Structure 1
Amino acid sequence: MVIINACKIAVHKLKMFSELVMFSHTLFSLPFAVISMVWAAGGWPSSHIMLWGLIALIGARNGANAFNRLVDRTFDGQNPRTAHRHLPQQLLAEKEVAAFIVVNYMIFIAASGMLNLLCLILSPVAIVLVSSYSYTKRFTYLSHLYLGFVIASAPIGAWFAVTGQIAFTPFVIGTVVMLWIAGFDIIYGTQDIEFDRRIGLWSIPSYFGLQNALRIAGALHFIMIMLLLFLYLWRGLGWMYLAGIGIATLLLMTEHKIIKPSNRQLMKVASYNLNQVISMVILVCSLVDYFYVS
């Protein structure tokens, strides 16, 4: 009975931590990291690189998201939209979350060391970058771009994991991710315009207003698509990749069409659900194109 109860508690805690870091949102960075690995390796990378690369990605992402929740716990508790989260509701203790962060960052460093020397050397820098996002919203409306920049480290790091070298292509992929993430984070941030202004948090929606913020998000997504098309030309990709970009463009247009900040469920679809589909469409079409078309 004691063992059963302990298992139930462990499973419950695991569920709480998974919800804390929104583990399902790994679909934002993982597909582009896989594309980067395949292109860098000229095919499927070794199982060793795939395994430790995935572990490094998950460790860094979990640590960063938990750090953000810990640092922003006071703001989350004051915002009616986020007051239900785990730390404001004391569903998880601050010490538990702090320990979770340390463990995940240690996993990230260890996995980086299992990849190559460059990844190991850069791992502390990556931790500083992914952790510092939490503070940018306190002093600059460019925090959305910084968030995108942080998540862009996934495909760049994936390339380094395979080759151990710096190259041009992963930085283009990273810029695509940065612009894409920043764009839909701006869209998501339109829900908190009044709260951010009242509390003194910086964001593009609170600084420029709703309509201008949506125009900026649209411009970022337009440049993102242009860069994806640039990769099509630069790497001599095939029609299947191009079809994926076409589908992604239509989904982005739909995303911008349905934006309604007063409708929380609709905003979740626009900011999260559609973008998870976009990343998977680009991944599947890119892989099919690489292995079966090009």
Structure 2
Amino acid sequence: MSDAAFLPGPSGGATAPGRGSGGPQQHDLGHVRAFLRLVVIEHSVFALPFAYIAALAACFEVSRSVHWADLALVTVAMVAARTFAMAANRIIDRAIDARNPRTARRELVTGAVSVRAAVVGSTMALAVFLAAAAALSWLCLALAPIAVAPLVVYPYAKRFTDFPHAVLGIAQAVAPVGAWIAVTGHWSWAAFVLGLAVGSWIGGFDLIYACQDADVDRRIGVRSVPARFGVRGALIGSTATHVVTFALFVTYGLMQDTGAWWWAGLAVTAAAFCYEHAIVSPKDLSRVNRAFLTANGFVGIALFVFALADLLSRGLSA
């Protein structure tokens, strides 16, 4: 959905073009849509598939059958945690966003979403996350602060380190480990390796995404790898990081004794990585969004499908 789909009205709320206020219900719906755009809810596709991979692998280990209630709670926890993280990120970074032409139309900058509404939304999302963690087990609730901490630290990281992408990776690496613990109640080194793979994968493509802001970041004092080492250095770093990601995916497969479907999925993932890095260069960043959204969204969904096929072929039942 384009930024123009719902424009700020006189009160700072979101109103549909050409329809006027449309009454309280439509006004409230506009606010909800604006908040969902604020947190880019569709980007849940990046980390959620890997939480599912870990949760289903844990189900296979425990009983060879899907624990649907646990899977539903993992879904709620993941989406709620990510919603909290994105809302908090936007709140903390709103002054920076206002100084960057690429982000100056974000909802907190334009007034489509008020700071108060964003705070309320992020608080509600955090409460839902904690409730889902508590419903899973006391251990999940006790470990919840460990999952929340890097989500809050990340938006501040660009103020004190040239490597905020690493903090983002750490925040995302928690998902598979948490999903495994949610199902089994115990630690898994295989889930930890999968978490490292997810963290390096997301940190690696965040390096690509940050390249489009390198010049602005230098001017306004935001720290990042592209701002510090240049676009070429960031792209080299992203390639190296994704090589590590692929090695970690291989390691996970070996630790879990996966079958042919997993390895076929890794072949597809390798092709997607090659495509992602081939379409972006220091001289041409026009396809960054294609690399960021299309290629990486495909990696998450495709690898989940192949991982599910592998588990089903080895005996996982509904």
Residue 23 of structure 1 corresponds to 41
Residue 56 of structure 1 corresponds to 77
| 2:217 aligned with 1:199 | no
Code of the residue aligned with 2:50 in structure 1: it is F
Pairing 1:100–2:118 present: no
Which of 245, 265, 268 in structure 2 is aligned with 1:224? 245
RMSD (Å) for aligned C-alpha atoms: 1.5
Which position in structure 2 is the counterpart of 1:233? 254
Partner residue of 1:119? 140
Matched residue type, 2:137:
N
- Superimposed CA distance per residue, residues 122-171 of structure 1 (whole angstroms, 9 cap, x where no aligned partner): 11332222111110011112210110110111111111111111121111
SS in structure 2 of the partner of residue 193 of structure 1: helix
CA contact (8 A) 2:45 2:297 kept: yes
Could you list the runs of 5+ residues in structure 1 that have no partner in the other structure?
Answer: none
1:137 and 2:158 correspond:
yes
- Is the Cα–Cα contact under 8 Å of residues 235 and 281 in structure 2 kept in the other structure? no
Aligned pair 1:281/2:297, yes or no?
no
Shift of 1:256: 0.6
Query: AA paired with 1:251?
Result: A
How far apart in 2 are the matches of 1:265 and 1:222?
A: 23
CA deviations on 1:81-124 (whole Å, 9 max, x unpaired) are 11111011111110000011111101111110000011111113
2:207 and 2:226 in contact (8 A); partners too = yes
Secondary structure at the residue paired with 2:108?
Answer: coil
Question: Is 2:140–2:182's contact at 8 Å kept on the other side of the alignment?
Answer: yes
Indicate which of 55, 58, 70 corresponds to 1:40.
Answer: 58
Runs of 4 or more, structure 1, over 4 Å off, are 260-265
Secondary structure of the structure 1 residue equivalent to 2:110: coil
The letter for the 1-side match of 2:35 is: F
Residue in 1 that maps onto 2:234: 213
Q: What is the distance in 1 between the residues matched to 2:37 and 2:168?
A: 20
| 1:146 maps to 2:167 | yes
Question: For 1:167 and 1:134, how far apart are their aligned partners in 2?
Answer: 29
How far apart, in 1, do the equivalents of 2:104 and 2:153 lie? 23
> Which residue of structure 1 lines up, in the alignment, with residue 17 of structure 2?
none
Q: Provide the C-alpha distance between the structure 1 equivalents of 2:281 and 2:36, rounded to a whole number of angstroms.
A: 28
User: How many residue pairs were aligned?
Assistant: 291
Q: Is the 8 A contact 2:226 2:234 kept in 1?
A: yes
Q: Is the 1:261–1:267 contact (alpha carbons within 8 Å) kept by the matching residues of 2?
A: no
How far apart, CA to CA, are the structure 2 residues paired with 1:107 and 1:279? 24
Aligned in 2, Cα 1:257/1:142: closer, same or farther, shift over 3 Å? same
Is the 1:191–1:261 contact (alpha carbons within 8 Å) kept by the matching residues of 2? no
- Return closer, same or farther for 1:16/1:263 CA change in 2, 3 Å cut-off: farther
Q: Distance in 2 between matches of 1:7 and 1:32?
A: 36
Q: What secondary structure sits across from 2:287 in the alignment?
A: helix
User: Aligned residue for 1:81?
Assistant: 102
Are the counterparts in 2 of residues 148 and 179 from structure 1 also a CA contact under 8 Å?
yes
Q: Assess, with a 3 A threshold, how the Cα gap between structure 1 residues 167 and 101 changes in structure 2: closer, same or farther.
A: same
Partner SS, residue 259 of structure 1: coil
The whole-number CA distance in structure 2 between the counterparts of 1:293 and 1:211 is: 44
Which position in structure 2 is the counterpart of 1:271? 292
Residue equivalent to 2:210: 189
TM-score by length of 1: 0.95
Render the CA deviation track for 1:30-66: whole Å, top value 9, x for unaligned: 1000000011111443222112111111111100100
Counterpart selection for 1:110 from 112, 131, 139: 131
Question: How many angstroms apart in 1 are the aligned matches of 2:96 and 2:66?
Answer: 42
Q: Which structure has the highest helix share of the two? A: 1
Q: Does 2:28 align with 1:10?
A: yes
With the length of structure 2 as denominator, give the TM-score of the two structures. Answer: 0.88
Give the Cα–Cα distance (whole angstroms) in 2 for the partners of residues 293 and 208 of structure 1.
46
User: Which amino acid in 2 is paired with 1:18?
Assistant: L
CA distance in structure 2 between the partners assigned to 1:100 and 1:263 by the alignment: 37
8 Å CA contact retained: 1:241, 1:286: yes
State, as a whole percentage, how many aligned pairs show the same letter.
33
Q: Which position in structure 2 is the counterpart of 1:156?
A: 177
Determine if contact 2:130/2:141 at 8 Å carries over to the other structure.
yes
**2:86 is equivalent to residue 68 of structure 1:** no
